[in-house]
Amino acid sequence: MVSGVTLLVGSSACGSSEEPPEETNGVDELSPDEIEETARTAAAEATSVRLSGTVVADGASYRLDMRLGPDGAVGEVSAEGATFELLRVGDEMYMRADAAFWETEGIPEELESDPTQKLDGKYVLVVTDDPAYAELSGFTEKDALLEAVLTMEGTRTAGEEGEVDGVRTIQLDAAEGAGGTLDVSLDGTPYPLRLRRGGDAGDLKLTDWGEDFTLHPPADDEIVDYGDALLPRE
């Protein structure tokens, strides 16, 4: 194998100041289906990821900024003008919402005596048998959330090479882009780095793959007890 030094010397001897292109991780030499499979495998094997951007599902638009790891997740979700924070540490799920959220969803009757004082800056513990737990936990489970959002429809084709935040990528198009476009890293591990979902169903970035982060439950004085159900039952 010719060393990088020899290549540079040889280029100079030929009168060219351009450096040879850096090698890729080889994903660009795979078939489109293999590119997708390789990216999905890398995502599944990673211990953590930060997922941010927008998702449109069932007629509703969500803005997400979640850090997802093996032991839980932390981040923020916005929908229909209301914003709430989620923190899951193991099986313990906590939620902290702004006033717009509670005005939309309604104040739990246990808190109606003085909701502003009790909810301002406070977390509520979402018990596991609350119907809201299953709905909210979907935003905090790494593999389940990635499976839900990393969807494309149509025949896959390899597209243009590009760049996402300084990292070289190759695009994987579904139905020539109408079914979605996934940017897969050509540097290092072939992680998916960006997904433009088909049908204007959102645009997501995936960063901080495999980076450790620490989760801590809120202090006792930051938690308010709302009773048996987070949201009022109809």
Please state, in angstroms and rounded to a whole number, the distance separating the CA atoms of residues 85 and 70: 19
Token representation of residue 152 = 């494309």
Note every long-range contact of 212-218, with CB atoms under 8 Å and residues 24 or more positions apart, other chains counting.
Answer: 212/47, 212/48, 212/69, 213/48, 213/67, 213/69, 213/74, 215/69, 215/71, 215/72, 215/73, 215/74, 215/87, 215/88, 215/89, 216/89, 217/87, 217/89, 217/92, 217/94, 218/87, 218/94, 218/123
Share of the chain above pLDDT 70, in %: 77
Neighbour count for residue 63 (Cβ, 10 Å): 14
78-120 pLDDT, tens digit per residue, is: 987 788 999 999 999 999 986 667 666 655 555 555 455 567 6
Q: Is 24 helix (H, G, I), strand (E, B) or coil?
A: coil
Please state, in angstroms and rounded to a whole number, the distance separating the CA atoms of residues 15 and 86: 58
Please state, in angstroms and rounded to a whole number, the distance separating the CA atoms of residues 183 and 173: 9
pLDDT of residue 225: 67
Least confident of 7-16, 58-67, 89-98, 193-202: 7-16
Residues forming a β-bridge with 76? 65, 85
pLDDT of residue 232: 46
Q: Is 202 helix (H, G, I), strand (E, B) or coil?
A: strand
- Strongest mean pLDDT among 81-90, 168-177, 222-231: 168-177
Please answer whether residues 68 and 140 qualify as being in contact, where contact means their C-beta atoms are separated by less than 8 angstroms.
Answer: yes
Is 1's pLDDT higher than 90? no
pLDDT of residue 111: 52
Q: Mean pLDDT, to the nearest integer, of 217-223?
A: 90
Q: Per-domain residue ranges for the chain?
A: 24-47+152-207, 49-146+214-224
Least confident of 69-73, 121-125, 193-197: 121-125
Residues forming a β-bridge with 85? 76, 96
Residue bearing tokens 């169903």: 201
Spell out the alpha helix ranges (H) of the chain: 4-13, 32-45, 99-105, 115-119, 131-137, 142-149
Please state, in angstroms and rounded to a whole number, the distance separating the CA atoms of residues 122 and 197: 35
Q: Mean pLDDT, to the nearest integer, of 59-64?
A: 90
State the pLDDT confidence band at 224, using cuts at 50, 70 and 90.
confident
Q: How far apart are the first and last CA of the chain?
A: 71
State the pLDDT confidence band at 3, using cuts at 50, 70 and 90.
very low
State the pLDDT confidence band at 233, using cuts at 50, 70 and 90.
very low
